[in-house]
């Protein structure tokens, strides 16, 4: 049986976990002291050997990403931390930064040192005011303690960190759109190549990493790559935050080795609420194809979920029970992608607009079987035909729900309406039920 | 229904906004013209060019501040402070627009003008950015901006019902403000708090685990001016104060509120009960020793 392995979340219960004093008491900034005694190249090797993979969704090996930065660029190198967490269902980076902003600051310093950056940015979504306060305070505190600024801890290494608040645009979680946004422009993705490692922010070499990825670096440096590899699987080593939400008895953050299964996690979280049946779930946010109760034993690592036809993504496990209408859920997600399409690529900008109309018709019970073919045809013409992955992610709920729940789409127009009662799927439905029984 | 309403709503909003812009510009010119909209825009343009060349010559006859704006020289100095944080000035634009909202409550023509002046951009370039991001508002906001998450998970868990009851209660819809100027409503997208669903935000502070009843009580308190506490943060500040923090000017309240909400701790609490931990760590000696001895070495 897999058990939980709190590392990042181990001290979130302490009253002062977000302060420098609280963090230092837990051996905070020890990784930085070790790192500054090594060469930057050593650190890249450590992260490579540890096998850390990006926690923002794509799972790209972090050490390899770092090693793509040219060694002899005449331009400065930048580190950008992607703290724009906005993928529906994803809710791990926000609590991490709220409870433990210093682990992100420490990780940012070590990672910047490893890639030779002297300026780093934390691009945090704007809609999380208190998280921004905590980050601002942590950075200010780190300057005061000599962890930032000139000649950090007497090492001769200089680094500045800027906390930069976004302004409400899901697309800015896409790394090249984030860079445009950070340059003061509309957040629209860039065509690659060139990749950011060569020409990123201000056309300079830039590494963009997710919050959880960067926050995992201090523990790896302090405890060693073998320690990290003692958790998780061969190709997906280490610990990670799994976020359970929706129709589950105890939703929340569960930090476990990669490869744990949803069956194990649901067990820990008290199961589906009120003993109801699991109907469908997302392994890593709404852009990862839906899975069903048939996939309870899929190892939740990069390979395992890919084999099941989906993606590990951000490990945002949104759980929906049998009271939920899958058509309603998919329509709402597709409305989201329509709203958040940046408008740059025609298939995405126009395609989601049409998809929403077809899905609205279907949900209202006015659709036809031809509409289902149209949905698939449109999806096929959107995915892979746009600059960025928003298009691919946006059609994932459609194609996967049609794969597993085609009958439910049919039932809508056979009945001439949605066969589900939306009140039954609310959180307060159970309270109301309990009160009357 | 929502989507089509949204599209035409957005279009008419844009039209209104540009109308307001040209109105302000006309109001500020010496000779209010009664000509058609297109020639009005042309004269606005020439007026604007004249103003700019005047400013360039140093003989500014009409600084941005003259147009009934709260953006004063302190605001301009703060904009320059923001610009100084970045290797390239234009990176300051997003925080500068947050600062405009901190002074004006929304992105006003005067705010666009000041950003453009300070960054050497055209107003069109600034407006193009401002209209891309949903947090920048094109008309005055209430003292308290109330967001209800109606993305899939929150909607299903009760967000749709909360939304419909709140719009009934307040008599306003998406992106509208109560007549008393206290509360604005917005359907927001996923706010990264799904384990606390259904979620609301007030001036971008979390209000977790809401029900229709708690939501109605919440807006009642906000309208009566009663202090409201975020479930994972401090007492709620005003819309303008929040925008100031987003612009990078902290209010010193980072230590208020808990480190984490209950759901954030669900796994940790279970691990503690069961005695589950990560394996013992400890990198083999690097001569690093403990953190304290290092500090002494310094």
Q: Do A10 and B278 touch (CB under 8 A)?
A: yes
| DSSP string over B15-47 | HHHHHHHHHHHHHHSSS---S-HHHHHHHHHHH
What confidence category does residue B156 fall into, taking pLDDT thresholds of 50, 70 and 90? very high
Instruction: Identify whether B198 is preceded by a cis peptide bond (ω within 30 of 0).
Output: yes
Report pLDDT digits (tens) over A177-205. 999 999 999 999 999 999 999 999 999 99
Q: A61, A48 in Cβ contact below 8 A? A: yes
Q: Do A88 and B254 touch (CB under 8 A)?
A: no
CA atoms of A423 and A212, how far apart (whole Å): 36
| Per-residue pLDDT at B25 | 42
Q: Is A170 on the interface with B (CB under 8 A)?
A: yes
Q: Do A253 and B266 touch (CB under 8 A)?
A: yes
Q: Minimal Cα distance from B281: which residue of A?
A: A223
Q: Looking at CA atoms only, how far is residue B30 from chain A in angstroms?
A: 34
* Full strand arrangement of the beta sheet holding A316-321: A252-257, A239-246, A316-321, A278-282, A291-292
Max distance between CA atoms of chain B, in angstroms, equals: 82
Mean pLDDT of chain A: 96
Where do we find the tokens 């901006």?
B145
| Among B246, B250, B270, beta carbon nearest to A4 | B270
A residues 222-241 lying closer than 8 A (beta carbon) to B? 222-224, 227, 230-231, 239
Q: List chain A residues with CB under 8 Å of B190.
A: 86-90, 336
Report pLDDT digits (tens) over B56-90. 444 444 444 445 899 999 999 999 999 999 999 99
CA angle at B102 for the pair B89 and B119, rounded to the nearest 5°: 20
| Per-residue pLDDT at B46 | 52
Chain A contact probe: residue of B192, B196, B297 with most A CBs at under 10 A:
B192
| Per-residue pLDDT at B281 | 80
| Angle between the N-to-C axes of helices B93-104 and B109-119, in degrees from 0 to 180, rounded to the nearest 10 | 150
ipTM reported for the complex, 2 dp:
0.96
Q: Do B264 and A422 touch (CB under 8 A)?
A: no
Q: List chain B residues with CB under 8 Å of A27.
A: 291
**Both tokens of residue B25?**
């510009």
| Among A91, A119, A202, beta carbon nearest to B194 | A91
Report pLDDT digits (tens) over B6-37. 334 444 554 555 555 444 444 443 333 333 33
Nearest CA to A316 among B265, B138, B195? Answer: B195
Tell me the H-state helices in A3-61: 20-25, 30-35, 40-50
Chain B contact probe: residue of A117, A126, A344 with most B CBs at under 10 A:
A126
**Both tokens of residue B98?**
């947050």
Nearest CA to B230 among B121, B142, B146, B111? Answer: B146
| Among B245, B283, B294, beta carbon nearest to A129 | B245
Please give the model's pTM, rounded to 2 decimal places: 0.89
Mean pLDDT of chain B: 82
Q: List chain B residues with CB under 8 Å of A31.
A: none
Q: B200, B147 in Cβ contact below 8 A? A: yes
The helix (run of H) or strand (run of E) holding residue B111 is helix B109-119
Q: Minimal Cα distance from B136: which residue of A?
A: A167
Q: Do A12 and B259 touch (CB under 8 A)?
A: yes
Q: Which long-range contacts (CB under 8 A, 24 or more apart) does A334-338 make?
A: A334/A359, A334/A394, A334/A397, A334/A398, A335/B2, A335/B3, A336/A88, A336/A170, A336/A286, A336/B151, A336/B152, A336/B189, A336/B190, A337/A390, A337/A393, A337/A394, A338/B3
Helices H, strands E: what count in chain B?
12, 5
Report pLDDT digits (tens) over A81-106. 999 999 999 999 999 999 999 999 99
Q: Looking at CA atoms only, how far is residue B73 from chain A in angstroms?
A: 23
Where do we find the tokens 């230092």?
A24
CA atoms of A318 and B68, how far apart (whole Å): 49
Q: A280, A292 in Cβ contact below 8 A? A: yes
Residue spans of chain A under pLDDT 70? 430-437
Whether the predicted pLDDT of B53 surpasses 60: no
What average pLDDT does the segment B202-206 reach?
98
Residue A23 backbone phi and psi in degrees, to 5: -70, -40
| Per-residue pLDDT at B16 | 54
Q: Do A251 and B266 touch (CB under 8 A)?
A: yes
Q: List chain B residues with CB under 8 Å of A102.
A: none
| Among A16, A30, A162, beta carbon nearest to B291 | A30
| Per-residue pLDDT at A8 | 98
Nearest CA to B46 among B63, B30, B66? Answer: B30
What average pLDDT does the segment B164-170 reach?
97
Q: Do B95 and A165 touch (CB under 8 A)?
A: yes
Q: Looking at CA atoms only, how far is residue B41 from chain A in angstroms?
A: 25
- Higher-confidence position of A381 and B2: A381
């Amino acid at each position: 049986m897999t058990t939980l392995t709190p590392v990042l979340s181990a001290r979130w219960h302490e009253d002062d976990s977000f302060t420098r004093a609280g963090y230092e008491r837990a051996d905070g900034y020890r990784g930085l002291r070790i790192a500054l005694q090594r060469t930057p190249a050593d650190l890249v090797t450590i992260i490579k050997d540890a096998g850390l993979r990006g926690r923002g969704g794509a799972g790209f090996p972090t050490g390899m990403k770092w090693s793509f930065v040219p060694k002899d660029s005449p331009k400065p190198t930048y580190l950008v931390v992607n703290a724009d967490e906005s993928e529906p269902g994803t809710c791990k980076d926000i609590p991490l930064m709220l409870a433990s902003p210093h682990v992100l600051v420490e990780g940012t310093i070590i990672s910047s040192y490893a890639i030779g950056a002297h300026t780093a940015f934390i691009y945090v979504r704007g809609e999380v005011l208190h998280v921004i306060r905590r980050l601002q305070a942590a950075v200010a505190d780190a300057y005061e303690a000599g962890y930032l600024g000139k000649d950090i801890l007497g090492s001769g290494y200089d680094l500045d960190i800027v906390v930069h608040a976004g302004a409400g645009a899901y697309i800015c979680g896409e790394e090249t759109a984030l860079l445009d946004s950070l340059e003061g422009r509309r957040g629209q993705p860039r065509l690659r190549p060139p990749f950011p490692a060569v020409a990123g922010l201000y056309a300079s070499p830039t590494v963009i990493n997710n919050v959880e990825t960067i926050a995992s670096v201090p523990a790896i440096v302090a405890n060693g790559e073998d320690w990290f590899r003692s958790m998780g699987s061969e190709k997906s080593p280490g610990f990670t935050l799994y976020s359970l939400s929706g129709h589950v008895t105890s939703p929340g953050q569960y930090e476990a080795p990669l490869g744990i299964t949803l069956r194990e996690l649901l067990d820990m979280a008290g199961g589906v609420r009120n003993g109801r049946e699991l109907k469908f779930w997302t392994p890593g946010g709404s852009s990862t194809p839906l899975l069903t109760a048939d996939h309870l034993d899929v190892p939740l690592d990069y390979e395992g979920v890919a084999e099941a036809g989906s993606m590990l993504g951000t490990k945002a496990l949104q759980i929906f029970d049998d009271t939920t209408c899958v058509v309603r859920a998919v329509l709402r997600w597709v409305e989201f992608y329509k709203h958040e399409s940046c408008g740059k690529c025609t298939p995405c900008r126009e395609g989601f607009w049409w998809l929403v109309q077809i899905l609205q018709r279907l949900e209202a019970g006015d659709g036809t079987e031809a509409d289902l073919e149209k949905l698939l045809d449109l999806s096929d013409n959107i995915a892979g035909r746009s600059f960025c992955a928003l298009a691919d992610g946006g059609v994932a709920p459609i194609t996967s729900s049609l794969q597993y729940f085609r009958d439910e789409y049919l039932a809508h127009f056979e009945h001439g309406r949605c066969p589900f009662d939306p009140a039954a799927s609310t959180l307060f439905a159970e309270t109301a039920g309990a009160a009357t029984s | 229904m929502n989507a089509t309403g949204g599209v035409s709503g957005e279009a008419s909003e844009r039209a209104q906004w540009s109308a307001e812009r040209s109105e302000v510009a006309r109001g500020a010119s010496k000779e209010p013209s009664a000509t058609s909209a297109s020639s009005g825009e042309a004269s606005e343009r020439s007026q604007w060019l004249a103003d700019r060349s005047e400013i360039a010559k140093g003989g500014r006859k009409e600084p941005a501040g003259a147009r009934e704006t709260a953006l004063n020289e302190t605001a301009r100095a703060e904009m320059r402070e923001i610009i100084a944080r970045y290797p390239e000035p234009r990176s300051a634009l997003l925080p500068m627009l947050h600062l405009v909202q901190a002074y004006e409550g929304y992105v006003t023509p005067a705010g666009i003008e000041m950003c453009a002046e300070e960054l050497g951009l055209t107003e069109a370039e600034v407006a193009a950015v401002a209209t891309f991001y949903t947090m920048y508002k094109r008309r005055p906001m209430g003292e308290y901006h109330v967001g209800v998450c109606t993305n899939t998970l929150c909607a299903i868990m009760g967000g749709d019902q909360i939304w419909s009851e709140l719009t009934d209660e307040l008599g306003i819809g998406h992106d509208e403000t109560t007549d008393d100027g206290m509360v604005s409503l917005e359907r927001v997208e996923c706010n990264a708090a799904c384990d606390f669903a259904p979620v609301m935000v007030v001036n971008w502070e979390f209000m977790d685990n809401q029900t229709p009843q708690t939501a109605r009580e919440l807006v009642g308190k906000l309208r009566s001016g009663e202090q409201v506490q975020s479930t994972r943060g401090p007492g709620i500040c005003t819309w303008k104060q929040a925008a100031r923090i987003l612009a990078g000017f902290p209010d010193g309240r980072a230590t208020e509120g808990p480190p984490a909400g209950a759901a954030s701790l669900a796994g940790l609490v279970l691990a503690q009960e069961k005695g589950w931990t990560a394996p013992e760590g400890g990198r083999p000696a690097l001569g690093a020793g403990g953190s304290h001895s290092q500090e002494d070495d310094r």
